[in-house]
Amino acid sequence: MQLLDDNRKQNLAGRLDRPLAIGSKTVANRLWLAPLAGLGNVAFREVLDGYGGCGLMFTEMCGAKSVPTESPLVSPVFRWREAELPRLVCQVAGATPEQMVPAARRVQDCGFFGFDINMGCSVSGIVKKNAGAALLKDPNQAVRVVEAVRKAISIPLFIKFRTGWTPDIEPAVALARRFEDAGADCLVFHPRMAPDKRTRPPVREHIKAVADAVSISVFGNGDVVTPADCLDMLETTGCAGVSVGRMAIARPWLFAEWTAGHTPAETCFRDYALRLADALDRHFDPVRALKRYRLFTIYFAANFLFGHSLQSRFLKAKNMDEIRDVIREHIQPDLQLVKRPNLSMYNI
C-alpha cells in the first residue's frame, strides 16, 4: 500500500482533523463515512464508532415513500442508535417534493444531524422511479426538490450527486450553483458519470470544478483507498473534506489512522470480523444478519492476497456461528495482505 512519510502524515491529519461548520451545526472533522446501500447499516456504524475518528456518518439509502411511516424497530435501513444521532445523516432517495418533504420532516423530528438527498444512485430500480441519479436528467426538478426540502426543515441539508449522464462537467457545475442557491449546506460529489459502474477512474479535476463554483463545502468521493489518495484529493481539488465508502468497510480504523495517527493492532482484521458478526446478531434477525455479513465479505476479503478463496469460505457458511468458525480458523495475523486492496473484487 502506498505510504506517506511522517511529514505528509501530519499534513493529512492536519487537513482532516479540523472542525467544519455545516449550516447551523459543526462537525468535528473532515473525514466522513459515505452512504452505502446494504453496508452502512446500524451494526456496521456501531463497530465503526468503536474505532473513532469518523466525523460524520450516513445511513444507507432510505426510500422517501417509506420514511414518514417506517418504524425503526423493524426497518432494516431506517434504524439507528440514539448515541449516534448527533453525528448521523439520513440519506433518502425520492423523485418529487411531495415525496421528499414528509420524509425530511420525519428525519428532523427523529433528531438526525442532517438530511441527505440521494442524486447519485444509478441502480435501475431507483432510476426507473425517477429518483437518485435520474434527477440529474431533469435539473429543474432536482432544484425543486432541494428548494422544497430546504423550506421544510432547518437541519443541515446535504446532496450526494455525480457528474451526470454525460462526461461533460459543466452541467454538474451549473447544478451545484443552483443547489447552493436553493439552500443546500454541503455537496458530496462523486466525479463519475451516472451509468459508470466503476469501470473508469473518477475524474478528480471535476471535484475541483465543483468546489471552485460554490461557497458551501464540497466533499470529494471516489476511489480513496490509501492515505496518499486522500491527501492527493485534498491537495489537488480544494475540497473541504473526503467521504470514504468501500475502504471504510474494508478497514474501518482508517478514520482514526488518517486523522489521529492511530496504529491498528496486529489482530485488527480478526477482531473486526468478529465485532461485526456480533453487532449484526444484535441488530438483525439471523437471516438478515447472515445476508449482510456475506455482503461485507466482498470488501473484507479484498485486503488479502488470496481474498477470493477466503470469501468463498465465508459464503459457504450457513449461519453466523459458522461465520465465526471461519474467522477463528482462517483470519490470523500472518495472513498475507495485498499492497492495495483488490478493487476488482468489489461488485457493487
User: What residue type is 293 in one-letter code?
Assistant: Y
Catalytic residue list contains 62: no
Phi-psi label, residue 150: left if phi above 0, alpha if psi -120 to 50, beta otherwise: alpha
Cell readout for 344 is 476488482
> CA-CA distances (angstroms) from residue 12 to 30, 129, 258, 343, 347?
11, 40, 7, 23, 29
Cell readout for 82 is 440514539
Return phi, psi of residue 26, to 5°.
Answer: -125, 135
Q: Where are the alpha helices (DSSP H) in the chain?
A: 6-16, 42-51, 97-110, 124-127, 139-152, 170-182, 204-213, 227-237, 246-250, 254-260, 268-283, 286-301, 307-316, 320-330
CA triple 196-210-85, angle to 5 deg: 80
Return phi, psi of residue 172, to 5°.
Answer: -65, -40
CA–CA dist 339, 32 (Å, integer): 23
Cα four-point dihedral sign 126, 127, 128, 134: positive
Name the active-site residue from 121, 186, 230, 239.
121
Specify the 3-state DSSP secondary structure of 10: helix
CA–CA dist 283, 325 (Å, integer): 20
Closest among 164, 210, 183, 191 to 115, alpha carbons compared: 183
Specify the 3-state DSSP secondary structure of 219: strand
Cα four-point dihedral sign 341, 342, 345, 348: positive
Catalytic center residues: 121
